Amino acid sequence: MMTICSARPAPQSEATCVPSESATPTTTDSIAADTSPGPATDFVGPATLDIAARPVTLPGALPVGDTDKVDVVTDMAPGGGAVNMAQAYRLAGGTDYRLGVITGPDHAGRLLMALVAAILTNVRQFCTAVRTRLSLLTPLDDQARVTRTWTERCTIDTAETWAQVEGWLRKGRRLVLASMTAEQTDLVEQIIAAHNGPVAMRLTRSQCADRERTLALAAGCDLVQLNASELETLSGITGDLVAGINVLRDHSIHSVIVTAGRRGIYAYFDWAGGWHYVPAFAVGVVSSPSKCGDTVLGTFFAGLDRGVAARASLRIAAAAAAMNAAGLPHRGGWDELAGFAQQTAMVPFAPTPVSRRRVNRQQITPTARRWLVPAGYLTGGAALVLMALRIVQFMA
């Protein structure tokens, strides 16, 4: 097992880094680069052609099937975990990276590669999928507050992909596996076993559903990243992210990053002082929650390659994810992300999500309203009586 970065900070006690309800963990590490950069980073995984469409109402005389609406394409962009991570890595100031894209040999694959080449460099295409994976995003209302996403599942030829990826691997470089599904576990096992260097993996929902095999697979990686719901599926523990991470540690997975939305980022690194917690940044309205997990991992590795400490890299990664979620413009560069992190407030530490559901007073009938206050007093009084009985029983 190799360390995910070349620098190995002195370990600190686990108790000083575990998030607690009583105090908000803070980050004090410098976000400036030092003189000990880590290994360069390679990203590989299937890519997706993301198509944004908007329903348009046709004239009444031109019905299409049983509806008068059609989806009109408004935008197309490259997607997929590997592409998203490489783009986040570049926007964070990273330069020494390579991207391996798994696509199909069809027209969509050629269009996808043209879009990728327009924003990224050092790209290698592996035409080993039956066809290029497409993802259609369509708003369900005029304000685009609710959207529906349809993603086509495509089969990848494991033997052909391995034959191409094997010659692409470089000794000593960090390799990040992204967007691999449970059906591609055989390919992932071959890559992990053959690569002579640190390996990180962004787990997917389908991988986490295959619990036993994924736990064994992740134990062979130097770092894994997943979101809160995926951690619950993989660990079998609901509502406690720290306990879920400890389950993974019990299965020899020693470095974990968990992205939990407004609850922040939870991480454990055996090579960087144990537990780390970074609160989320308060950005108001969230316009695009997708790609945030990929943005965190890509930015985090850009920080490590600059020689920035792990906890400070997580903080800047949280800032990049917040900018992505809010749809804020990002020209690129580590200094811009650092400035955003210093000027933007963080969400107060709250490991347990708080329900924001409220009851409208007008929905309560007058009869029920007259009984609410007496019922509240009765419930509180009963609780006090039971507490007093327990105290008496304990003293006896």
Overall average pLDDT of the 54-65 stretch: 60
> Are 6 and 274 a contacting pair, CB within 8 Å?
no
- pTM surpassing 0.85? no
* Nearest of 99, 47, 15 to residue 274 by alpha carbon: 15
Overall average pLDDT of the 70-97 stretch: 88
d(CA 65, CA 26): 58
* Residue 367, amino acid: T
Query: What pLDDT, on a 0 to 100 scale, did the predictor assign at position 389?
Result: 78
> Are 80 and 45 a contacting pair, CB within 8 Å?
yes
Query: What pLDDT, on a 0 to 100 scale, did the predictor assign at position 140?
Result: 58
Pairing of strands 48-57, 265-269: unpaired
Helix (H) or strand (E) holding 243: helix 241-250
Helix (H) or strand (E) holding 318: helix 310-326
d(CA 360, CA 367): 15
Provide φ and ψ at 264, rounded to 5°. Answer: 95, -160
Query: What pLDDT, on a 0 to 100 scale, did the predictor assign at position 367?
Result: 53
Query: What pLDDT, on a 0 to 100 scale, did the predictor assign at position 226?
Result: 94
Which tokens is 242 given?
């720290």
Which residues contact residue 274 at a Cβ distance below 8 angstroms, ignoring those fewer than 6 apart? 11, 12, 13, 14, 17, 268
Helix (H) or strand (E) holding 148: strand 147-151
Residue 278 or residue 380, greater confidence: 278
The strands making up 147-151's β-sheet, listed across from edge to edge, are: 69-79, 48-57, 133-139, 147-151
Residue 155 or residue 22, greater confidence: 155
d(CA 196, CA 185): 19
d(CA 186, CA 198): 19
pLDDT class for 252, splitting at 50, 70, 90?
very high
Q: Across the chain, what does the average pLDDT equal?
A: 79
Stretch among 91-100, 149-158, 337-346, 371-380 having the lowest mean pLDDT: 371-380
What percentage of the chain reaches a pLDDT higher than 90?
Answer: 41
Query: What pLDDT, on a 0 to 100 scale, did the predictor assign at position 29?
Result: 47
pLDDT class for 394, splitting at 50, 70, 90?
low
Q: Residue 219 pLDDT more than 80? A: yes
> Are 268 and 297 a contacting pair, CB within 8 Å?
no
Query: What pLDDT, on a 0 to 100 scale, did the predictor assign at position 117?
Result: 92
* Nearest of 151, 148, 145, 95 to residue 120 by alpha carbon: 95
Overall average pLDDT of the 61-72 stretch: 58
> Are 193 and 60 a contacting pair, CB within 8 Å?
no
Q: Is 6 exposed, middle or buried (0-12, 13-18, 19+ CB in 10 A)?
A: middle
Residue 289 or residue 269, greater confidence: 269
Query: What pLDDT, on a 0 to 100 scale, did the predictor assign at position 354?
Result: 38
Distances from the Cα of 193 to the Cα of 189, 215, 221, 239, angstroms: 6, 15, 10, 34
Q: What is the CATH number of domain 14-46+82-133+155-343?
A: 3.40.1190.20
Give strand pairing partners of 73: 53
